[in-house]
């Protein structure tokens, strides 16, 4: 059974710091991995989608990597800003059409 | 630029009452999903519809039913609500295929008392 774990559960950093969020999954047979952002009381916003054949994706200050063989993905946020404060979720698309989510990392960027 | 629209946004039910959560997408996506989100547990898949006319159980289907009314709409029904169904419910959609993004609605916050 596919399980997705995100570490740390919560993170507080000063503004301007570069940071890394971690995501691990137990079954390497995935089709893709997606990183989402969720603001309090809101829905999920897609940040980056990495297909199983790719190693990384970049969007602005965000860079996501994927290592299928080790079952790991990282989301790198450069020069963090208070507006980056949110919960970040990773999700893997495994067998069929089932997307399995991690519990998320709650990020707080202090001004 | 609506994307995925869910109604209602908030709902309070008494134990045993029934209700239907509505979801519609305007992106011509084939696949639609219903998730629930509980504190510390991430999102869990309740039901999904790979394409119009098909529905399948996800991880936590008990106590729920779904209808894929047409390509745009996918509803979730609670026949007899229980306090354990207090949660935030999200609808999502994606194109058919395994390398496509999922797009989410804003959620329905349901409380069962």
Look at residue A9 in the predicted model and tell me its pLDDT: 93
Per-residue pLDDT at A96: 64
Selected for mutation to probe chain B from A30, A44, A45, A52 (highest B CB count within 10 Å) is A44
Mean pLDDT value of segment B3-25: 96
Distance from CA of B53 to the nearest CA of A (A): 15
- Predicted confidence (pLDDT) per residue in A8-57, tens digit: 999 999 999 999 999 999 998 888 999 999 998 888 999 999 998 999 99
- The closest CB to that of A31, out of B43, B98, B105, belongs to B98
* A76 strand-pairing partners: A20, A63
- Starting at the earlier edge strand, list the strands of the sheet with A72-77: A4-7, A19-25, A72-77, A62-67, A56-59
| Cα dist from B30 to A87, B21, B72, whole Å | 28, 19, 8
Band the pLDDT of A105: cuts 50, 70, 90. Answer: very high
> What is the per-residue pLDDT for A106?
96
A1, pLDDT greater than 70: yes
Contact status of B61 with chain A (Cβ, < 8 Å): no
pLDDT at residue B1, rounded to an integer? 62
The reported pLDDT for the residue numbered B21 is: 98
Best of A7, A24, A30, A43 to substitute, by most chain B Cβ atoms within 10 angstroms, is: A43
Nearest by CB to A43, which of B40, B100, B106? B106
User: Phi and psi (nearest 5°) for B83?
Assistant: -55, -30
Per-residue model confidence (pLDDT) at position A42: 86
* CA closest to A38 among chain B residues: B106
Comparing alpha-carbon positions, the chain B residue that sits nearest to A39 is B106
> Which token pair is A86?
């949110």
pLDDT tens column, B26-84: 999 999 999 999 987 789 999 999 888 899 999 899 999 999 989 999 999 999 999 99
Place of tokens 């089932």: A98
DSSP-assigned letter for residue B85? G
């Amino acid at each position: 059974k596919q399980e997705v774990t995100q570490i740390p559960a919560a993170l507080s950093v000063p503004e301007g710091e570069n940071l890394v969020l971690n995501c691990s999954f137990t079954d390497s047979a995935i089709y893709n991995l997606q990183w989402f952002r969720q603001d309090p009381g809101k829905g999920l916003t897609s940040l980056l989608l990495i297909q199983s054949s790719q190693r990384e994706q970049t969007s602005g200050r965000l860079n996501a990597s994927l290592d299928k063989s080790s079952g790991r993905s990282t989301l790198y946020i450069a020069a963090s800003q208070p507006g980056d404060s949110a919960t970040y979720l990773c999700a893997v698309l495994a067998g069929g059409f089932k997307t399995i989510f991690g519990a998320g990392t709650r990020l707080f960027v202090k001004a | 630029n609506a994307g995925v629209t869910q109604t209602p946004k908030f709902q309070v039910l008494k134990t045993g009452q029934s209700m239907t959560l509505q979801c519609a997408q305007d992106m011509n996506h084939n696949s639609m999903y219903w998730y629930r989100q509980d504190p510390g547990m991430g999102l869990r898949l309740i039901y999904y519809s790979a394409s119009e006319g098909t529905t399948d159980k996800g991880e936590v289907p008990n106590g729920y039913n779904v209808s894929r009314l047409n390509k745009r709409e996918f509803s979730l029904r609670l026949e007899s609500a229980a306090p354990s169904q207090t949660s935030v419910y999200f609808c999502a959609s994606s194109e058919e295929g395994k390398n496509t993004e999922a797009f989410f609605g804003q959620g329905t916050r349901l409380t069962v008392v």
